[in-house]
Structure 1
Amino acid sequence: MRRAVLVLLSALIGALAAPAIRAAPHGGSSGCREVTFEEARYTVCRIDMRTHELRLFLRGPDGSPFGSLSRFLGSPMGRGVAMAMNAGMYHEDLSPVGLYVEDGRELKHLNRARGPGNFHMKPNGVFFVAGGRAGVLETDAFARRRPKATLATQSGPMLVIDGKLHPRFSDEGPSRKYRNGVGVSDGSAAIFAISDEPVSFGAFARLFRDALGCRNALFLDGSVSSLHAADLGRTDISLKPIGPIIAALRR
């Protein structure tokens, strides 16, 4: 059963009358495709940094957080977007938990604190764009190098670190959720992936390392994982609000 149907069933069970996917507005090529890896289904979007610009969005023209892909895409900022995805963990007020750099402005500082939950499952990390190239660095490495990022979002845990899986992942852990994340190989492209069925951290990390060739990859979030892909005519509707949004626009 496809994820759209599963989410719709969840919505009905929760007495929420909202479709899981609506028709996508037009946009440039999103470079997205559906793949199967280890018998699980995913959608993968390869964003070429030479032909697309990545941008982060949190608040709309009225100053309030977008909270959903559909509201973002319906705003002036969402016009012509090829791909969009929720971009990291956030507080109840939808503000980012960790480092957040939007249009070259650091709106939230790097978070190196200890704490509970996935964000604090060390090592966590940062996805960023600097000098027109995409990167993923473990948080301490990012703090040491301090690249001049025009875009950055911090989340956790890291999925792949220099070709190795996060040390706390088992091959098949007990937690199965919809998950989304981002990885890089050589910096010329950012590779975003979302699971179309519940998967473990281990399986999701192996997707990035073994199927997508990413030496470094970062978990963005689970359960609220949502994707807009213009090529696929897909825009997910999360049953819960989302925080920061990352979007690809054709240059």
Structure 2
Amino acid sequence: MIRLAVVILLALSGGAAAQDCRAVDHRDRAFTVCTAPLDAFAVALRLDAADGTRLGSFAALARETEAEIAFAMNGGMYHPDRAPVGLYIEDGTERRGIVTSAGPGNFGMLPNGVFCVAGATARVIESHRFAADPPACDHATQSGPMLVIDGALHPRFIADSEYRNLRNGVGVTPDGGTVHFVISDEPVTFHEMATLFRDALGLRDALYLDGSVSRLYVPGQDRADPGRQMGPILSVTVR
């Protein structure tokens, strides 16, 4: 039986945005779930500063962002120069094309997918489906593997796997109006994270973003996870 205990983390200051991230206990593992209804929050991908250098950090993101940041997290896998591995769209401009072939590592564990934001709606789409009929995205990032595909877990996930890591991912409600960003606060398996999206959050599609580099920034809760320089960053601001 799946056990879900939710504790709302209230901050003494920082406005309504401070309440949009909560602690979730799922299958005896600790996670943080940050929720963004798109009628109240704008989700964007950010890679470079105004001078063309990589942002790389939440501090740099905050310096470059005028709107109130509710939260932010790493937004997909990247090369040593911190360029995105797969499809990357920022402010309507495609900066890297989609990759549909299998390959090494988690990204190449097909099916992988794309997180796409278009105005006040969002979708998680399997990469081959995306490539066959690309929707118009204001912002998009490709990563892998998919965690949940049409309500089913990725076929290569193992329920009793002993391989655990810090992980983060993203999923969207079936109506496209709300995005759930999840990060584990302790090492977890793919299966544990995927069942959180499907069984606890009720989502039919969810995408893995990354592992050991996973980081979350919630200024209203004084949380800014330390770590190495990032590539793409998912920024969620108050509309």
- TM-score normalized by the length of structure 2: 0.90
Asked whether 1:49 is paired with 2:38, we answer: yes
Structure 2 counterparts to residues 11-30 of structure 1, below 5 A: 29=17
| In structure 1, C-alpha distance between the alignment counterparts of 2:238 and 2:67, rounded to whole Å | 11
Q: How far is 1:71 from its partner?
A: 2.5
Note the aligned Cα RMSD (angstroms): 1.5
Asked whether 1:218 is paired with 2:212, we answer: no
Partner of 1:9: none
Asked whether 1:72 is paired with 2:61, we answer: yes
Match of 2:85 among 86, 89, 97: 97
Runs of 4+ off more than 6 Å? none
Q: How far is 1:78 from its partner?
A: 6.1
| In structure 1, C-alpha distance between the alignment counterparts of 2:119 and 2:213, rounded to whole Å | 31
Structure 2 counterparts to residues 82-121 of structure 1, below 5 A: 82-121=70-109
Please say if residues 67 and 238 of structure 2, whose CA atoms lie closer than 8 Å, have aligned partners that are also in contact: no
Please say if residues 28 and 80 of structure 1, whose CA atoms lie closer than 8 Å, have aligned partners that are also in contact: no
Which runs of no fewer than 5 residues in structure 1 stay unpaired? 1-24
Please say if residues 82 and 229 of structure 1, whose CA atoms lie closer than 8 Å, have aligned partners that are also in contact: yes
Partner of 1:179: 167
Q: How far is 1:131 from its partner?
A: 4.3
Q: How far is 1:26 from its partner?
A: 5.1
| In structure 1, C-alpha distance between the alignment counterparts of 2:22 and 2:220, rounded to whole Å | 9
| In structure 2, C-alpha distance between the alignment counterparts of 1:230 and 1:134, rounded to whole Å | 24
Post-superposition CA distance 1:174-205 (Å, at most 9, x none)? 22100000001221101000000000011011
Match of 2:220 among 228, 231, 234: 231
| In structure 1, C-alpha distance between the alignment counterparts of 2:103 and 2:42, rounded to whole Å | 33
Partner of 2:10: none
**SS of 1:192's equivalent?**
strand
Partner of 2:69: 81
- TM-score normalized by the length of structure 1: 0.86
Please say if residues 27 and 79 of structure 1, whose CA atoms lie closer than 8 Å, have aligned partners that are also in contact: no
Please say if residues 181 and 221 of structure 1, whose CA atoms lie closer than 8 Å, have aligned partners that are also in contact: yes
**SS of 1:223's equivalent?**
coil
Number of residue pairs the alignment of both structures matches: 225
Please say if residues 165 and 186 of structure 2, whose CA atoms lie closer than 8 Å, have aligned partners that are also in contact: yes
**SS of 1:242's equivalent?**
coil
Partner of 2:154: 166
Post-superposition CA distance 1:127-149 (Å, at most 9, x none)? 01124201001001111221111
Q: How far is 1:62 from its partner?
A: 2.0
Please say if residues 41 and 196 of structure 1, whose CA atoms lie closer than 8 Å, have aligned partners that are also in contact: yes
| In structure 1, C-alpha distance between the alignment counterparts of 2:208 and 2:130, rounded to whole Å | 16
Post-superposition CA distance 1:57-92 (Å, at most 9, x none)? 00112211111222222x132652111000000000
Partner of 1:35: 24
**SS of 1:243's equivalent?**
coil
Asked whether 1:192 is paired with 2:184, we answer: no
| In structure 1, C-alpha distance between the alignment counterparts of 2:73 and 2:98, rounded to whole Å | 21
Asked whether 1:250 is paired with 2:238, we answer: yes
Question: Structure 1 198/42 Cα, relative in aligned 2: closer, same or farther at 3 Å?
Answer: same
More helix by share: 1
Match of 1:148 among 136, 146, 149: 136
Please say if residues 69 and 237 of structure 1, whose CA atoms lie closer than 8 Å, have aligned partners that are also in contact: no
Amino acid at match of 1:38: R
Question: Structure 1 33/129 Cα, relative in aligned 2: closer, same or farther at 3 Å?
Answer: same
Which runs of no fewer than 5 residues in structure 2 stay unpaired? 1-12
Post-superposition CA distance 1:4-30 (Å, at most 9, x none)? xxxxxxxxxxxxxxxxxxxxx957615
| In structure 1, C-alpha distance between the alignment counterparts of 2:180 and 2:220, rounded to whole Å | 16
